[in-house]
Structures are given as C-alpha cells and as structure tokens.
Structure 1
Amino acid sequence: MTAPVTGLLTRLLGRLPIGWLQLTHNRGRLAAAIAGVAFANVLVFMQLGFLGALISTIRLPYQALAADLLVLASDANTLQDGSPLPRQRMLEALSVPGVAAATALHYGRLDWKQPDGTVRTLDVLGVDPRARSFSLRAIERQRDLLTLSRAALLDSGTRNVPPAVFEAIAAGQTLHFEAGGRAVDVVGTFHIGGGFSADGYLVVSDQTFLKLFPQRSAGAPNIVLLRAEPGTDLDALARRLRAVLPASDSAVRTVAEAVARDQRFQTTQRPVGVIFGFGVAMGALVGIIIVYQVLSTDVADHLREYATFKAIGYGQRFFLGIVFEEAVILALLGFIPGSLVATGLYALVTAAVGLPVSMDGFRLAGVLLGTIAMCTLSGAVATRRLARAEPAALF
C-alpha cells in the first residue's frame, strides 16, 4: 500500500517523500499518531456539534412566531429571562404607522411529572387564541381549541416522551396531566423540539396561562409580537417604535436581531455555551500535544541523518518541509476516521436526546483546516531543536 502512495507523493512534491517514508517506517508509532489526531478531531467535532445544536435550538421558537418585530423588556437577553412588559406597550406600538397587528405573548416554564417519576420541563407560551401568534400551520389549525378551559397543544418534539403518547393525541384522545397543582388537557400537537434549557413547548391560551401561573398578571406579558404592513422597511419601523416606546422598560428588535442577541448571550455568557467553546480549545490542545510528541520524537530519532543533510548544505526550509509533510499527512489520516466516528456519534446523540446535532460541509472543512494548522504548528515547534543543532556536535 505504501508504494503507490510513495509514487503519488513523489510526483506531487517533486522529490522523494522523506516525511511519508519516515512515518511509515514505524507502523506502530504511525497508528498511535493517527489515533491521537482522530481522538482530538472527535473531541472538537463533538463540542462543535453541541455548540451548533445550542445555536439551532435557540432559533427554533423564534421561527415559530408569526412576527416581524418583537417588543421585549429592556433587560431581556433571551425569550425567557426578560421582565414582564406593561400591556400598554402593545397599544402604543399599534399606534405607530406601519404596524399591522400586535399580540401579547406570556412566557413561563413548568415541570411535567411522568408516570415513571421523571420530570419533563416545558416552556409554556400563552397567547390570545383569537389572534394569529404562530407561523406553524399545526398551531393555527388548532387555535380554536385553545378557547376551551385548560386546553393545550403539546410539542411532539418534547424529549423522552413515549411516541405512543403523541399517537394517542393524534387519534383524538385527550391527554390529562397536572403541573404546578393545575390540570392541563392536551388536545393537539405541533412540532418545535426541545433545547438545552427545556424539553419541549406547551401552547395555551392567555387565560389558561394565568391559571397555570396565578402570580402572573394579564396586564404584564413578556413579549409583544408585531406584524408589519406589507412592504414596510423593518429597520425604519423599529426606529420609529423605539422613538415612541420608553427605553427604560422596553426594547424593539427585529426577529433576526433578537435571535442573534440570544445566541450571542447564551454562547458567551451562559455556562453551557462557554463550556462547549472551552471544549473546542481543549480538543485542539490535545491534538497539538499528541502531534508534537510524535514529530519531536521522529526528529530526535533521525537527528544524525538531518545533521548529515545540514552539513552538506541543506537549509532549515528543507527540514521544515519534511516535518510539515509529516504533519499534513498525520492531519489527513487522522481527520478521516475522526470525522466518521463523529458523524456516527452525532446520529446517536440525536436519536438519544433529540438535539439537532448534524454534520455539515462547513464544519468538516473548518475542522480539516484547523487540524492541518494544528499539526503544522506542532511540526514547526518540533523542528526548533534541529534549527539550533550544530552538525559537528551530533557525531
């Protein structure tokens, strides 16, 4: 197998592929090095996968809202963490030219205890069932059902709920459960999917919401959903709204701005996002250390041969070329199994916990380039001893 590769590399490099021959000379060391690079790749891929899933799940509830602009509390970084707004802000927003419709959204969270004793955390969205609040057809089709007392629609993407539960609801059966000492009747389903902070979503009317959260007030929603008149410049409309609504308690954002702010906050200031970013750095560090150990050992083993080349006039660039050749080969050979293993693990995680962890071309290309850079950096550090060595002192 090595002979065809040697011939190919000879044609590509225009010289004998010394780095390849040195790597393949010790098959055990080569296998250990490939395994180390692959392991570092898997670490980086998994952390990037979780970080990507976090970013994707943050976007999901925003995409389900029928809104062009959002009015949130001035202290809100996410959909969940803002203070309640005075309902008056909705009426003030409606008076601004370009606003076609406005509706209030109440946001809360409750625990749903399962028959086996485990708990599912649900983000609860309370809306006026007479107004269009969601872009999801499944919710719009069943919106009239929410006018019934205690009626709710349950997210069929809720984590770790048996499929039979949703099949029974789809067949017309009502699911009854209690949450916070209050009864809930699930009469239909829709699909958004759980995230890192909650297992799924529950949509109820604003009146049912106030029964589930008696400490909340009808006059203090969390968010106001605004729909603009067709053809309206959203940025200009946002500026007009900011001029009308007091900045002391409210903030006007386009949906894209709200999503970006939420993602930035949760990936840079919330522990889970910081941990995933730190994991990427640690995976890269592991790879650098492993490749450095392999390449520095290889340089040490062939120091006399390198000294001979140095004595007859070969410069540092020649030796860097050999070590970089080894580094790139290790990067490519380690990337292939690492990416395959990571793709398999992505599928397992998605099946086990329902998070949208998936491989894409940008991630593959980014990790490949990062792996090559990681191995090349290790190679550059590994040649420092050779650069300082004097040929006469090596014999």
Structure 2
Amino acid sequence: MSRLLTLLFGRLPIGWLQLTHSRGRFFAAVAGVAFANLLVFMQLGIMGALNSSTIAPYAMLDADIILSSQDGNTLTDGGHIPRARMFQALGVAGVADATPVFIGNLPFTLEDGSSVSLLSFGMDVSKPSFAAPSIATSLNDLTLQSTVLLDEGTRGMPASVIADLTAGGRFTFETGGQSLTAIGTMNVGGGFLADGMMVMSDQTFLEVFPNRTSGAPNHILLHTADGVSDDAVVARLADALPSGNLRIQTMTVSAANDLAFMATERPTGIIFGFGVFMGILVGLVIVYQVLSTDVADHLREYATFKAMGYGQPFFLGIVFEEAIILAIFGFIPGFLVSVGLYAGLVSVTGLPVEMEAGRAILVFLGTLAACSLSGAIATQKLANADPADLF
C-alpha cells in the first residue's frame, strides 16, 4: 500500500504511515467513519422508501391533471370534492375526458389471525385509459360486483395466495362486512400507510365503504386534449371552477408536492432528515478527533518541517491525505453493511429500500467532504504553532 501511495502522491505517504503506525487507533477510526456512513445510509434508505411509497400510487394512474381537496396533504390522505366539479371541468376548453377516483383504507384478517391493511382505489372501470397499462387490461374484469385486483407486494400476504392469483386462480376474503374476490394482481408494493394496494370498481368501493357516496370522490382525474398544454388547462380550470376548497394541479406537480409535504411537514420525514444530519455530525467529530490527536502527537515533527521551510500547504496535504484514507476505508465497510441491512429490511418489512447508485456516490462525496473539513480544522493548530516554542 505504501508503494502504491508513493507512486500516486509522488512522495513518501507520510499520512498513511502516521495513521497505520498505531493499528488499533487506525481501525477504531475506520470503524467510526464506517458507523457514520452506516447511519447516513440507513436514514437515507428509509427516507427513500418513504418517498417511493408516497408516490407509488401515482404509477397506478394515467392522467394529466388532478382535482383534489385543499385540505388534502397527499394523494392518499385527502378530503372529498363534489363530483359536480368533474362535469364543470368537462366544459373547459382543453379537457378531453374526466373520471372520479375513490380512496379508502381497508383492513382484513387472514386465516392465521394476522391483519393486513389495503389502500383501496375505486375507479370507473368503463374508462381504462385513466389506469396504468398494466392495470387497464384487467379493469374490464372488475365489472363483476365484489371483484378486485390485489397487490402482489402486499406485506404479510401468504406467497401461496399471490402465486395462485398469478396462475389464474381466485382468492375470496371477508372485510367490512362484505365478501370480496381477488381475480388478478398488480405490482405496487406496501408502504408506511398500508401493507399494499387494491383496485376495484367504484360501485364495489361504495358497497365496501357504505359511508361514502358517489357524489363525493377523493379526486377527479382529467385528460387534456392532444396538443394542449397541461399548464394552460390548469390556468383555465382555475378561472372557471369555484375556488373554495379545490386544488388543481398537474400529476407531476401533485407528486412533487406530496414528496415535499412528507419530507418537511410529516414527523417521519423530519426525523429521518435529522438522522442524516446526526450521521454527518458523528463522522465529522470522529475524524476531527482522530486527526487532531494525530497532529498533536506529531507536533514536534511538524514543527521541524516548518523550521526547514515547509509551508502550510504541505501540512494540509498530509492531513488531507489522512482524511481521504479514512473516508475511503470507512466508506467501503459502511456501504457493504448497509447493502446487507437494506436487503434485510426489504425481507422483513416489504418496504422499497434500495441502494441507488446516486445515493452511494452522494454519501461517498459527503464522506470525503466531511473528512476534508475535519482535516482543515485540525491543521489550524499547526498554522498557529511557532517552532521555537516547541523545543
């Protein structure tokens, strides 16, 4: 390793030799940086799963504009709007078609006694163009009363049930005083609000949720005419429809606002963001402590170099060398352990926790920056030191 670093730096790798002189301290420092990386990776992973599960329902829908209640925070956490807004919207230039969407959380108990909650979507099955292609092909089958499409990724659902449905079988279960029959599957996955998703006709939805009425859907989806700007139609709708308790957004803007709400206003998003900050802070403190101690232990040697005419850039180079070594050696085990823990979380919780390449690169660059900052702070002691006072 010393030879490789000598070729790389074009000089004796003083930083590497100083770090590895005390093997115990070196491994402790690497473990500390790895732990900080692990902490950041886990917080970012869970936050990413929160974001993914927040916008996952949008993948089930195919629309250009969505009308929602102002008191709604996200797609699945909103109030009701009058169905009359749909007919009013159809009279606005640029709106080609519209359909209501009903959303509710439906729990039911499996044969083993465990409970599963399904975020249920009631849709007009006569308008499959408003559903994602993977779902639209099966919507026509839902014209049969009390039939549903069940999410393959439903957390806690027996694998045998999903396998049987995939093979063309049926699965009947009781919920809300009604008997429902799953006749097919879709693949969305569970999240923080429910264990999985379920799609049914709007008529079946109103039977399962007797307190809901056809005149008060959760959202109204709109298709714009070909060649017409979605933003232009949004502006026309804002002028034509009663302002009141109505939010008019493109689907893209709606999804972005959902993410912003979850990250900045929901306690879960704020907690995970704070966890990322704490991980970075832990890494800064550990690396600073290691480098500061190393500088203090070799202060006389550094003073000798300073008396010989070496300037501050030389000392910064040595400390930055140590910082980069700690960043690289700490990142690798932190990354590998995080990948294993991600896989464990997916297996146990079913949450979409994935190690994305962009996240790994971001954490590595952040680790380099944090270690370099700690190194720059640690060298301040050298900058102010007078060689004459050290001997």
TM-score using structure 2 length: 0.95
* Aligned residue runs from structure 1 range 251-266, under 5 A: 251-266=247-262
- Does residue 67 of structure 1 match 2:49? no
User: Structure 2: which 5+ residue stretches go unaligned?
Assistant: none
Q: Deviations over 1:238-261 (max 9, x none)?
A: 111111112212111111101000
Task: State the match for 1:241 in structure 2.
Answer: 237
User: Would you say how many aligned residue pairs link Structure 1 and Structure 2?
Assistant: 391
SS in structure 2 opposite 1:30?
Answer: helix
Q: Which runs of 5+ in 1 are unaligned?
A: none
Classify the secondary structure of the residue corresponding to 1:313: coil
Aligned equivalent of 1:391: 387
State the identity %. Answer: 55
Which residue of structure 2 aligns with residue 92 of structure 1?
A: 88
- One-letter identity of the residue aligned with 1:199: D
Question: Are 1:335 and 2:325 an aligned pair?
Answer: no
Give the residue type in structure 1 aligned to 2:58.
Y
CA-atom RMSD in angstroms:
1.7
Structure 1 position 267 matched with structure 2 position 258: no
Q: Give the aligned residue type for 1:59.
A: I
1:58 corresponds to which of 30, 54, 58: 54
Asked whether the equivalents of residues 74 and 247 of structure 1 are also in contact (C-alpha less than 8 Å), the reply is no
> Does 2:371 align with 1:375?
yes
Aligned pairs for 1:178-189 within 5 A: 178-189=174-185
Alignment-derived partner of residue 286 in structure 1? 282
Q: How does 1:1-395 map to 2 (within 5 A)?
A: 5-132=1-128, 134-395=130-391
Cα deviation, 1:54-96, whole Å, max 9, x if unaligned, reads 2222222112102111111122221122220001000011111
1:283, CA displacement in angstroms? 1.0
**What is the rounded CA distance, in whole Å, between the counterparts of 2:387 and 2:108 in structure 1?**
74
After TM superposition, give the deviation of residue 236 of structure 1 in Å.
Answer: 0.9
Distance 1:134 1:349 in 2: 33
* 1:2-21 deviation digits (Å, cap 9, x = unpaired): xxx32333333333221111
1:107 to partner: Cα distance: 0.8
Q: Are the aligned partners of 1:121 and 1:198 in contact in 2 as well (CA < 8 Å)?
A: yes
Report deviation, 1:353.
Answer: 2.2
Task: Measure how far apart 1:131 and its partner are.
Answer: 1.8
* 1:142 alignment partner, SS class: helix
Q: Deviations over 1:314-365 (max 9, x none)?
A: 3333222211110011111111222122222222222332222222222122
- TM-score normalised by structure 1 residue count: 0.94
2:324, 2:280 → 1: CA distance? Answer: 15
How far the C-alpha of 1:195 sits from its partner, in A, is 1.5
CA distance in structure 2 between the partners assigned to 1:340 and 1:247 by the alignment: 52
- In structure 1, give the amino acid aligned to 2:259: Q
Structure 1 position 37, deviation (Å):
1.1
Displacement, 1:134? Answer: 4.3
Q: Distance in 2 between matches of 1:279 and 1:355?
A: 19
Which segments of structure 1 move beyond 4 Å, counting only runs of 4 or more? none
SS at match of 1:204: strand
Q: Secondary structure at the match of 1:329?
A: helix
Quote how far apart the aligned CAs of 1:202 are: 1.3
Conservation of the 8 A alpha-carbon contact between 1:68 and 1:234? yes
Cα distance, 1:303–1:330 mapped onto 2, change above 3 Å: same
| Separation of aligned partners in 2, 1:200 and 1:280 | 28
